[in-house]
Chains A and B, each alone.
Chain A
């Protein structure tokens, strides 16, 4: 029995980490209060960068969307690491695999829709002039 208890900590299960569990990285730089402070700071910086990218002329107009997408993905990563305590550790494997599958579906839905509808719009173009007058 003592062997069992050695691998448990206050009744916590050390084989698997629940998503967002504080215990996972509380002794690492990305965990605990320090982790939340770092994450908050990084998120603020990335938010300011997003607003600056959209509102100033620093970035070539057509490239603004790329900058915004990159900054948004970076900030989501900050949230996942510092607020949701996702790690590459073996106790987090299940959480990361589920997340990966979710991201896969999201990308499929969003990019697939844009792709298909852009194609449709392209092929339907002559319709624009054939619409009956409103009223």
Chain B
């Protein structure tokens, strides 16, 4: 269909109309999208999505794999939670006051991380750095309480070698703690890079991936505080 006749033909919707069919397959109909194939005419052609979308989607897939790994630790804990070998049980070990504070810290840090995401979206450097700093401080507080709990348990003879229950407990909760530690290192790096290099496209992608990571850690913590601590202390 040549351009000279397009104006008179109602079938040439994609080129002439503002109507955007979000359910169409592929990215190219009408030559939209950021990919290399703006001139592509068929469905399913037209190149990849924008870099921001593909990078973040890839990280989303990683997060889901990470959560599947956590599910294996959860399964091990669920199976072994009764195997205390005559040693201490969750009911005698878990201190729910500390867990409540930890939950509050991590939830609030997830919230401030989201506020940082809004200010990042608005390209406000000062507030982005402030919210990231608050997020990091809250995350560090969470980690300190967890280390305090772990060292307290180990000194009263309830270390990971005591029973299968405690092995799986330390593996699951420690794995989450390791993730938070890595997140804090990542957060510090991102703050420094953002401070020095400004809102560069690659840094925005990385920081967005960090935000996803931090929210995902809080989602894993929901499962831990509900099904490990609260359930373990009430059964």
Contacts and interface: CB of A to CB of B under 8 A. Distances in A.
A58 to B, nearest CB: 12
Nearest to A84: B215
Q: Contact residue range for chain B?
A: 35 or more
Contact of A106 (B20, B55, B71): B71
Contacts, number: 168
Interface residues of A, number: 62
Given A13-B52, A32-B118, A65 B215 contact: no
Contacts of B34: 8, 11, 13
Contact of A51 (B33, B100, B120, B212): B100
A15 interface: yes
Contacts of B56: 18-21
B60 interface: yes
A110 B64 contact: no
A12 B231 CA distance: 44
Contact of B57 (A18, A47, A72, A109): A18
B177 interface: no
B226 interface: yes
A102 B118 contact: no
A24 to B, nearest CB: 11
Given A3-B15, A50-B225, 13 more contacts: A3-B31, A13-B52, A18-B52, A19-B57, A19-B60, A20-B208, A21-B52, A54-B230, A55-B230, A55-B234, A91-B22, A113-B75, A114-B78
The 6 A-B pairs with the shortest beta carbon distances in the complex, nearest first, are: A102-B64, A113-B75, A18-B56, A54-B230, A13-B50, A90-B22
20 contacts: A3-B31, A6-B18, A16-B50, A18-B56, A20-B211, A22-B120, A33-B118, A40-B107, A47-B107, A51-B230, A72-B222, A72-B227, A83-B110, A83-B114, A90-B22, A95-B57, A98-B57, A109-B71, A109-B75, A113-B78
